[in-house]
Structure 1
């Protein structure tokens, strides 16, 4: 057979749509002619006939024959393998061309989409820039999913800015860009690009919020009604599937089996600084505790604590949701508790599978975990008042004091420190904020400026993450008439040092609409009273919860004007602040806030009440856990 004639005939048949005839000719031709163009045409026919896996293999053979042109054939083979669901084959080809993948968005898309599905976010950093600069909208959408909450990572900053610059009309990318500029206190830029969103909301166009990230949305919006709409990256709950899960048969045992799921099971994480002692105190005669752990290996290497004290560890890092379901079912868990919600590294969406008879949200996310199948959210009467009930699909399990656990045993004790050691003025009244910089909005700075103007002998001690934050904050304070000399910046510090240095200030001053959460309890533990104001959603009510749990409700102002008035009043009457500091010293080991043992008893009672309803065949309903009698003696640092 004349090979030229045969290839031309096969090509004509392909162009005419006679794929089977073309394929038959090529199969004969390949016996004598193995070259790139023959294999490539073979692949095209196979693709048209629906044989994707065979087509991908044929493109691979074309690459073997193509010499310098092999890369395009390999890339095409990888793309088709991905479409066919052959992820391992696609990834193998792509990873062999890893250097090019950092410049070629098509290959980067293959690698990133596979690793994202496999929950391997730690491997995605090299592909953010090239995907965000691609002209392909699919690449841009994937790039947006690669953002993590480490905004100190320049790849995240570049990604957000590139996407918004390229697609300024895309609401999702606008919200993403606003996350970035808020992180660095770029107030003018944030207000400029927030303005169209505010204008739309003024016209009751609430649907635009569906493009916002549920977690970062809380940093600018304290409207509990609006918070329900920030649902990007989620799908509406199917009531039938929820009912199916609750109706599945379950074998209860003598002990209650609790499963906690998180990526934060290492001792230096803020979550474990709160939760560690409660996990240790769980009554093992009545409860079995299992930690479904998807902590990144790099963080586990930093852990110094024997994690077996917390419970049985089941490693689910990198597993798909179906494998997590299998792992949870193997432990016959009664109550699964998600500790992440809509925060970075979360696997909350796995709760949309029937993991356990009872699904619970707690601690990680300060709000309703939208579009995730959860029966209860653990809170208290401050963060979850009755007026919040219409805005949650979860039922409330309200603790009698604060929803936030605290660890008096493993948390370092504050040590004596002087203002001179810290470079602070001896005679000034020192306001302090150690909250994350993204929580400091232009409205917060303007409020603090008004306070400083009215309290002339005061200064503000402020933590700044970067030089950019410092520069932008100073510029806003100066615009508000405050001299830079009255703003004293400090960097982050090792935890033990941070706990001690806080007491050198006179008064902690809170942010809004997101309060200090762990930050506020750290300040109270360190002996620093904190001023806050009444909030309008969970995230803005946390400091009130903590202050009430240590018997300082008078430091919760009713509104912004009262907040500013009280700040000034306290600055002008430092003896009142000294009284609050003495109160914190006296109450540290007797008030509920740091009483891990009392908290654990309340939590376990809450779990028992949930179980009792489920065993009776009753659906979830709001539950208020009754309080134990008040302590009359200190509990001591060992709780």
Structure 2
């Protein structure tokens, strides 16, 4: 989101920010400075926030949280702006008639999700997401398969997105490749019981514990280095990863993802489409297993993708915030034009 703020042309849009942050850190402080005007609303009731927005004369109000924790949908329900939009934070419809539009793209929505959306969907032409690579990312190293002689798969998704069905799929891949290993990154600290539960689940599907490496997430630098220690990353389903997928790709690691009907199960497809790597986004669980297995059997292809991935990403719209900003501004201007046309049309 930060690069989008920076890239907006101020002769086209003026950006006001209303922040609900209970814990202020250096990122929060930095973001505040990117807005033309900023108001901290954490201590304000919904009515007071809505009144402030009306006083500020906001034309288009964009919600960035949806139904996630700490949201302020109560403000949106009061309709303080003539046009209200939801974007980025929540991977689905809000179900609120007070929100007019949801910003997305053609790859991120199925016919089913389009029919279920209460908002009008605005498809940005080259993807709805933008990624800024971390400055602390280590250099891309050689694919582990070259040194080890066997493939290493990995999952870097939040554990809330990992269910038994996912572990069953990953186990099928490992059964296809008896020498392969699996790295599972978890944010569980020193909770050995949780780690043991995951290992037991793999063992239930026929994969012994010695083939599974559980890595406990510590620092971001450690996480990025860990990404570089796998050959192929496997996305979660039905809730795809966003940031972890981008980070894996930046570390040169191809990501295999499974598409579904929900927006949250098509984000991987959306990201890969921006890199012209849609072939890694498959439609069925059988194709997921086949793609991961086939990819891991091609060390040269893995190495070629690894060596070229950062250049591919840097040259793509995924890493060009100014392109996304122009598309977003065009969308906002179209929304405003539509509203003005309706407002000026005679009633009846």
**Aligned with 1:611 (options 336, 341, 344):** 336
Q: In structure 2, how many angstroms separate the alpha carbons of the residues matched to 1:599 and 1:500?
A: 29
Q: Any idea what the Cα deviations from partners look like across 1:220-258, whole Å, max 9, x if unmatched?
A: xxxxxxxxxxxxxxxxxxxxxxxxxxxxxxxxxxxxxxx
**Structure 2 residue 165 is matched with structure 1 residue 443:** yes
Q: 1:535 Cα deviation (Å)? A: 1.4
Partner of 1:292: 18
Separation of aligned partners in 2, 1:301 and 1:524:
26
- Give the distance between the partners of 2:200 and 2:17, measured in 1 at CA: 46
Q: CA deviation at 1:376?
A: 0.3
Q: Is the 8 A contact 2:140 2:252 kept in 1?
A: no
Aligned to 1:550: 275
Change (3 A) 1:551 1:583: farther
Residue 525 of structure 1 is matched in structure 2 by: 250
**Offset at 1:367?**
0.4
Residues 412, 496 of structure 1: 8 Å contact kept: no
Do the aligned partners of residues 283 and 356 (structure 1) sit closer, same or farther apart at CA in structure 2, a change above 3 Å counting? same
Q: Aligned partners of 2:7 and 2:131: how far apart in 1? A: 12
Structure 1 residues 277 and 452, CA, compared in 2 at 3 Å: closer, same or farther? same
Could you state the TM-score of these two structures normalised by the residue count of structure 1? 0.51
Q: Assess if the C-alpha contact under 8 Å between 1:417 and 1:501 holds in 2.
A: no
2:138 aligned with 1:415, yes or no? yes
Whole-Å separation in 2 of the counterparts to 1:325 and 1:500: 44
Q: The residue matched to 1:508 in structure 2 has which SS?
A: strand
Structure 1 residue 544, shift from structure 2 partner: 0.4
Which deviates more, 463-472 or 564-573? 463-472
- Structure 1 distance, partners of 2:37, 2:49, is 15
Unaligned runs of 5+ in 1: 1-274, 620-639
Aligned residues between the structures: 339
Alignment partner of 1:499 out of 224, 227, 249: 224
CA gap 1:302/1:547 in 2 versus in 1, 3 angstroms: closer
Q: Deviations over 1:100-137 (max 9, x none)?
A: xxxxxxxxxxxxxxxxxxxxxxxxxxxxxxxxxxxxxx
- The answer on whether the counterparts of 1:412 and 1:499 sit within 8 Å (CA) in structure 2 is no
Please, what is the CA RMSD of the aligned residues? 2.2
Instruction: Please show how residues 373-392 of structure 1 align to structure 2 within 5 Å.
Output: 373-392=98-117
Matched, 1:461 2:183: yes
Contact 2:166–2:236 under 8 Å retained in 1: yes
- Structure 1 distance, partners of 2:337, 2:28, is 37
- Give the deviation of 1:609 after TM superposition: 0.9
Structure 1 position 368, deviation (Å)? 0.5
1:554-573 per-position Cα deviation (integer Å, ceiling 9, x unaligned)? 10112100100111111222
Contact 2:110 2:262 in 1 (8 A): no
CA distance in 1, matches of 2:197, 2:97: 37
Structure 1 residue 327 and structure 2 residue 52: aligned?
yes
Q: Greater Rg, structure 1 or structure 2?
A: 1
- Deviation string 1:20-73 (CA, Å, 9 cap, x unpaired) is xxxxxxxxxxxxxxxxxxxxxxxxxxxxxxxxxxxxxxxxxxxxxxxxxxxxxx
| Distance apart, 1:428 and its partner CA | 2.8
1:351 Cα offset (Å): 0.6
Distance 2:119 2:20 in 1: 24
Question: 1:279–1:311: 8 Å Cα contact kept in structure 2?
Answer: no
The answer to which structure has the higher strand fraction is 2
- 3-state SS of paired residue (1:617): helix
Q: Is the 8 A contact 1:435 1:519 kept in 2?
A: yes
Q: Distance in 2 between matches of 1:379 and 1:302?
A: 25
Decide whether aligned partners of structure 1 residues 325 and 441 sit closer, same or farther in structure 2, where only a CA change above 3 A counts: same
C-alpha distance in 1, partners of 2:51/2:308?
A: 50
In 2, the alpha carbon distance for the partners of 1:598 and 1:484 equals: 46
1:474 is matched with which residue? 199
Aligned to 1:283: 9
Give the conservation status (yes or no) of the 8 Å contact 1:437–1:469. Answer: no
Q: What secondary structure is seen at the aligned counterpart in 1 of 2:15?
A: strand
Bigger relative contact order (CA 8 A; separation at least 6): 2
How far apart are residue 387 of structure 1 and its match? Answer: 4.0
